Amino acid sequence: MKKDVFITGTDTGIGKTLVSCALLSILAKQGGTVLGMKPVASGCQQTSQGLRNEDAELLIRHSSKLMPYSLVNPYAYKDAIAPHLAAAQSDKPIDLEKIQRQYIELSAQCDHLIVEGVGGWLVPVNRTQTMADLVTMLDLPVLLVVGMRLGCINHALLSYQAIVDSGLSCIGWVANQIEINMPYLNENIASIEQRIAAPLLGRIGYHQEPDSDSIGDCLNTRYFDGKENGRE
C-alpha cells in the first residue's frame, strides 16, 4: 500500500533529517521504492551546480532512485534564516502550487515519499502562508519529531495541537535526545505520552554524530506496513 508522510519538528535542528533518512533506509530494506523530498531549504552552499543543501542531499543519498536535485529541493536559499525572509532577500518567492506539482511527480515514481519540512510546523514560507498550508494542500499525514531538551513538553504539545487544528492526522511522534545529559529524560517523555493521543513511534538516544542507518531499530514503522491507517 502506497503511503507518503510529512516530517515536521518542534524546532529547527532537532532531527527531522535524521528521522527522514532512517525511514527511507528502513522502507528501502523492506523492499519498497522510496524517495525523499525537501521542498524548502535555507542554509545552502554554493557549488558549481548551484545551491545545494546538506539535508536535501542526504535525502537523495538515502532514496532508492537518483532524482534531479531541483525536483527534490525546488527552493534552495543560501542564508540559514527563516524561509520567507530568505525568499524575500533572494527575490525567489515560494509558490506552494509549484511544490505540489513536483510532489505529485515524485510521488508517482515511488511506494513511499518522505517529505521533510523546514523549521517547525508554523514557519512562514511567504507573506500569507506557512508550512502547515503546504501540508494541508498535499493532504499528508504528519510525523512529529520532538527534540528532547528543556522546554520540549510545551513545544511538543503546541506543535501537536496545531497539527490537529489544521485538520490533519498525526500518525505519531519520535523522541530525539539532543542533549547528552537531559535531566528527567524519561519523565519528560512520559509527560508527553500522557498528553498526546498519537503514539510514540521511537526513542533516539543522544549521538554526538548521529547516523540515520544506525537508528533504524529505534523506529516503529507500523504506519507503512498496511496494518495501521495512521488516522485518529
H/E run at residue 154: helix 152-165
Which listed residue (3, 16, 38, 65) is catalytic?
38
CA within 13 Å, CB half, 19: 33
Q: For residue 38, indicate whether it is catalytic.
A: yes
CA distance 16 to 27: 17
Quick one: cell of 186? 524519561
- Is residue 81 packed enough to be buried (19+ CB in 10 Å), middle (13-18) or exposed (0-12)? middle
CA distance 119 to 83: 9
Q: What would you report as the CA-atom Rg of the chain, rounded to the nearest whole angstrom? A: 17
| Catalytic residue numbers, as ranges | 38
